[in-house]
Each structure stands twice: as C-alpha cells, then as structure tokens.
Amino acid sequence: SPAVYFTARSSTGMYFDYVSNSVLFSSNASERIKINSTGLTISNISAATSDTDKFLVSDSGLVKYRTGTQVRSDIGAGTVTGATAATSDYLDGINVSASTTTPVIGLDIDGLTELSTIDNRSFDDIYALCLEDDQGEGNVKIPMAGMLRQNTVFLSNFYDSNSTSSTYYFFPFNTLSETSSNQYYNSIPCFAAGRVARIMMMNMPSANMSTGTWTTQIRVSKNGSTANTSTELTPTSYAIGGRIEYNPYTSFSKGDRLQISFQKSTTNVFWNSVSCVVVLQFGII
C-alpha cells in the first residue's frame, strides 16, 4: 500500500503518503494538514469571528502570532490609516499633505521656468492640467498653444449706402467709403499666425437702419479667396444699436491678407451709420 495509516479509520487521522513523501492529517476524508519537503500546508482555516489584529509568523521555525502594528513594521510598510505627507523627487516644488480624506497637492512655482524664457516653438508641446468638477468628462489637459492668444481689434466706421442684394461690400479701414473692389484700405495684413475670432456690425447714431425683416451675410476672404461665409444673420433690432455677430474662426498664417465683407438679402435696405469690429487672435509673438 502507498500509505501507512496511524488510525483505525482511513478517513480520519494521521498517515504517511509514500508517493508524495508527505505526512498528512485528515478529517472526514478531507486533507487538513500536509507536511513535506516544500513546507507546511494548512487548508480550510476558519475565519475569525472578530477582528483580532493577530497574524501567524515564523519565529526561528516556531509558529507564533504578531499584532497588526508589528507585522507592518516587520515588512517595512508605512502607516496605512491616512495619507502620508510627501514631496517629489521629479516635480520641482510639489508636495502632498497628510489629510486622510482630502489631501492637498501643492506646487511651489518659484522654482519653475517662466514661460517668457521658453522658445516660442515649444508652446505646441506644453499642456496645462484641468480638473473638471462633476461634469462627467474627467480630468483633461489643455494645450497652451491654443490658450495663449493675443486679441487685436480692428474697427471700421462707415455709412452703408449700397442698395444691391447681389454684391459683397468690404469693410473699409481708415476711410468712410465702402467698395466691392480690392483696395489697400479694405485689407488687413497678418503680422503673425492666428485666427479671425469674431466680427460684429452695429448700427450707430445718427441714422437708424432700414426696418423690415432683411438679413445680412458676412464673408471672410483670405488672399483674395473666400475662406468662410456666415448664414443669413438677423439683426437684434432694426433700430439704433441693432447688431449681428459672426464667429468664423478662420485661421491664417503670417503674411496672409484678410478682407471682411457683407451682403444684404434685400435691395434698397441700409445699415446706414454703422460700426464694425473685427477681432483677430494671434499666438505668442
């Protein structure tokens, strides 16, 4: 027989198994303890009925117990009842408070490189961390190249007297005469890369705009070609202060030429005295 039993019942007791070279203790045909060359195996250990904070350890071959605190110190673990204050070896000036529920992450900016000393070309690779609060999108990063913009406003004041509905007329600059032809005074030179962020037309004193239900389209041209055209825009009113707005976000490069024009939907209607604002956004210059 491959096994020697030290009990009258083979299902319960201690026996030696020649096949596995193991001494085993069984109960009701279930193996409970096995001792062999690999060590001691105990199966089916009952769970404690209360939190005793005691753990079995080996002390020079003897099985003893230690409390939870002693076990943590024995294995080199830190305190686990709360957050541990820490500083970073890799992020200059960062530290974390020891609050157990809402630790505070601090960043000392004194040691960081100022943006003014970084080559402008590297802004495409710089991101800011954005922590979103309960909006479902999660934390995100924002490219600095898209956030650092300089707004430049171009103002055009003129008297709209064209009666056609089939021609686009350009906003004039440094003159009061509108025209449909390419002229130096209705062009904007682009001194850096950027985008056309917003265009607004507003009726001003001393002449009200024509009444009715007519609309206006605004067009952005770049280097003589159409870049973007708005839908039919309805003024907020047909009285003094009535206005339309268009956000084309037309991108342009350094050296491009921009022109802004408008076309009315109906003949013989007029903006009359009008002020127009063109907002250009440039990157870091």
* Whether residues 243 and 155 fall in one domain: yes
* Whether residues 87 and 64 fall in one domain: no
Given a cut of 60, is residue 79 above it in pLDDT? no
* Whether residues 122 and 220 fall in one domain: no
* Whether residues 274 and 174 fall in one domain: yes
Task: Give the CA dihedral 235, 237, 242, 244, nearest 10 degrees.
Answer: -20
Confidence of residue 244 (pLDDT cuts 50, 70, 90): very high
What pLDDT, in 10s, does the model give residues 270-283? 999 999 999 999 87
* Whether residues 214 and 275 fall in one domain: yes
- What residues make up the domain containing 154? 150-282
* Whether residues 34 and 91 fall in one domain: no
0.75 surpassed by pTM: no
* Whether residues 193 and 211 fall in one domain: yes
Confidence of residue 114 (pLDDT cuts 50, 70, 90): low
* Whether residues 274 and 160 fall in one domain: yes
Counting other chains too, the contacts that 115-119 makes at CB distance below 8 Å and 24 or more residues apart are 115/144
* Whether residues 269 and 235 fall in one domain: yes
Given a cut of 70, is residue 19 above it in pLDDT? yes
Confidence of residue 69 (pLDDT cuts 50, 70, 90): low
* Whether residues 40 and 136 fall in one domain: no
The pLDDT of residue 159 is: 94
What is the distance between the alpha carbons of residues 206 and 80, in angstroms, rounded to a whole number? 75
What pLDDT, in 10s, does the model give residues 175-186? 888 899 999 999
* Whether residues 129 and 24 fall in one domain: no
If one counts the domains in the chain, the total is 4
- Give the least confident one: 4-8, 13-17, 131-135, 241-245: 4-8
Given a cut of 70, is residue 154 above it in pLDDT? yes
Percent of the chain with pLDDT over 70: 68
Confidence of residue 138 (pLDDT cuts 50, 70, 90): low
* Whether residues 154 and 277 fall in one domain: yes
What is the distance between the alpha carbons of residues 162 and 268, in angstroms, rounded to a whole number? 8
In the 8-state DSSP scheme, what is residue 144?
H
